[in-house]
Structure 1
Amino acid sequence: MDVASYQFQEQRLPPLSNIEHWENTSAEQKIALYDLHRYGYRLLFVRKTANGPLAVIAQNDDIAVVDPNGSLTLQHQITLRQSE
């Protein structure tokens, strides 16, 4: 492992629980997520952005995002890191 990789690895915080991610969503996102849950989507995590929280969700291997206003986006630029 090179020095840069080691430094990035050391900066990662412990993963949040699903409840903590849920608490980081907006009210509009919660409403959208309740509806999407019926179709098999699950909340993976929430990223804090300059525009507000961005909820990343999955249905099987399909990834989607829900913006702070509760709008679903299936075409996104999110790339997930592979778990070790």
Structure 2
Amino acid sequence: MNQTALDISERRGKAISNCDHWELATAEQKLALYDLHRFGYRLLFVRHSVKGPMAVICQQDDIAIIYHDGEVDLRPKISLRQPH
């Protein structure tokens, strides 16, 4: 199933700071991102889903997901909408 992640600022009307997104992440997601940070990954945003928060991260043009339990998907079926 292909999902489209909306830009948070587009949905909410104002941008959420990176610190706010970081606070929405679970401890497991934070630990996984710490490990991936040395490879150049950075947090884009945290999206809430029925199964829990999903942290959307990127390294240059590569998008990845960290699920609520810390599992990393380096090839998610997700596309990001470009800001207008």
Q: Deviations over 1:44-74 (max 9, x none)?
A: 0000011111000000100000000111101
Greater relative contact order, per chain length (Cα 8 Å cut-off, separation 6+): 2
Letter in 2 for 1:26: T
Q: TM-score, normalised by structure 2?
A: 0.83
Where does structure 1 differ by over 4 angstroms across 4 or more consecutive aligned residues?
Answer: none
Unaligned runs of 5+ in 1: 1-10
Q: Deviations over 1:25-59 (max 9, x none)?
A: 00000100111111100000000011111000000
Q: TM-score, normalised by structure 1?
A: 0.83
Structure with max Cα Rg: 1
Letter in 2 for 1:37: H
Unaligned runs of 5+ in 2: 1-9
Q: Secondary structure at the match of 2:78?
A: coil
Length, aligned pairs only = 74
The CA RMSD measured in Å over matched residues stands at 1.2
Alignment of 1:12 onto 2:3: no
Tell me, in whole angstroms, the C-alpha distance in 2 between the residues paired with 1:49 and 1:12: 15
Whichever structure has more strand as a proportion of its residues is: 2
